[in-house]
Amino acid sequence: MLNKHWITIVKFFIFFVSLFFVQNNYAASMDPPTLKYLGSFQFDLNATYFIDDYKMFSDFGPGKITLKDGGSGIVNVCNENTDVIANDKKTIALTVSCEIIMDDGAGLRLQYYGRIVPGKGFYEKVEHGETAKVNDGVDSWFTGVTFRTSSKKYAYLNNELIVGRGTSLTFPKGMRNGSVNYDFYKVTY
């Protein structure tokens, strides 16, 4: 009887130890996603209009896009609807769509949804027409980006998971336009 009991204990021990190693090997084989630089995007920020304390829109354009693997274009029109989230940071929820004409005549539609989390001094920079960046007026600034096109050259963009990282936001002042700048990254896994 004792032998059967020990055999059962040893079997359970071997089973759980092997399960542990299989799980660790599986987890080790799963590479975490990485970001690959895809290009940059810039457009003029002409004005921002507050509808109320929590809703605003901006007048954007023109601008430019440059893709690392070739191709650049002009951003003709961008439309934005923005909400300020009623939290302690007054996080800005972005919804933006842009029409782009590439240098070869191809049309691209770019859409992104994201967040700007204001940091210390952000709204003072807005008032004075200054530049805000991550760790200088912005705590974080990220977007999920989608492209749509029928161009064969840029068709790969239709299928990519793309994130945008805001690099600088210069606010308009007087007759001087502001500027919105992003880097785009393809998520690979």
- Alpha helices (H) along the chain: 2-29, 122-128
C-alpha distances out from residue 76 to 64, 101, 107, 169, Å: 9, 7, 10, 19
- The confidence score (pLDDT) of residue 106 equals 98
Distance CA 151, CA 145 (A): 18
Check: CB of residue 179 under 8 Å from CB of residue 42.
yes
Identity of residue 178: G
Q: What is the mean pLDDT of residues 135-139?
A: 95
Tokens of 132: 């805000």
Confidence of residue 28 (pLDDT cuts 50, 70, 90): low
pLDDT tens-digit map of 48-82? 888 888 888 888 889 999 999 999 999 988 888 88
Tell me, what DSSP letter sits at residue 62? E
Answering whether pTM is above 0.85, one says no
- How far CA 52 is from CA of 83, 85, 142, 147, in Å, comes to 10, 12, 24, 31
| Nearest CA among 69, 71, 96 for reference residue 82 | 96
